Amino acid sequence: MDTTFTPAHRGGAGSPLVCLHGFTDTWRTWELVLPALERRHDVLAPTLAGHAGGPLLGAGPLDVALVDAVEAAMDDAGFDTAHIVGNSLGGYLAFALAARGRARSVVALAPAGGWAKGDGTVGATLAHFTTMQDLLRLAAPRAEEIVATPEGRRRATTFTAERWEHIPAALLAHQMRGVAACEAVGPLVAFASETGWHVDAEAVRCPVRVVWGTEDKLLAWPSAAARFREEWVPHADWVVLDGVGHCPQLDVPLETAELIGGFTAA
């Protein structure tokens, strides 16, 4: 049983590419797309601060602390700028890095924070992470047993992917333990509830592609994309994936790798 959480993955050759995972996940969410990406890029996939294997959350506003930690990882890797790919929270952070001038391009997979002002589903979405962590702290010791059956793997991917048969059981067990061990859940839920979300769209000057699945059960299309579509990046290259869930890198890894590589090569 692999219970190890690591701070980052680095591999491949080519132009720099940074992959940022979503809330409560780890860098390993990218495992199914890494082989294709590493044929074209020098890939850095860090675990976010406050997440299992990642650095501690820094002081000050948590969104700033998260971006600061990614910048520090880029600096350590020797990346002045890089193509940035992010899923969910990672997609939101990709825009923050672009606003700081660190992105050559952004590919955002269902980026967080795009609800319209006053959208009443935001509170329920944030509460989901607290509830899910409580449940998975009970289930994590039996993670391998749970994902050993098709029904267990289907349940483990309810909120991440519509297609689950190809996802390794070991990866799903790792993700379950990662949610249980994520120290950022309480602080980030509280911060997001009190502070809200903002993208400094005028400072984002690089090419942007936004990818969203129509079956996303965490950030529903199109309502959770409202501010990205109407205010922040309406000019982006928008790709809507029919029948795909919240994590395209898990759901349809081959197509996702092509959507990333085709854009970063442009």
**Closest to 226 in 3D by CA, of 129, 122, 86:** 122
Express each pLDDT in 156-201 by its tens digit: 999 999 999 999 999 999 999 999 999 999 999 999 999 889 999 9
State residue 31's pLDDT score. Answer: 98
- Spatial separation of the C-alpha atoms in residues 106 and 244, rounded to whole Å: 20
Q: What is the pLDDT of residues 194-247, one digit of tens each?
A: 988 999 999 999 999 999 999 999 999 999 999 999 999 999 999 999 999 999
Q: Which domains does the chain have, with CATH numbers?
A: 9-264 (3.40.50.1820)
pTM of the model: 0.97
SS3 state of residue 209: strand
The number of C-alpha atoms within 13 Å of 184 and in the hemisphere containing its C-beta is 29
Q: Strands across the sheet with 41-46, in order?
A: 8-12, 41-46, 15-20, 82-87, 103-109, 208-213, 237-241
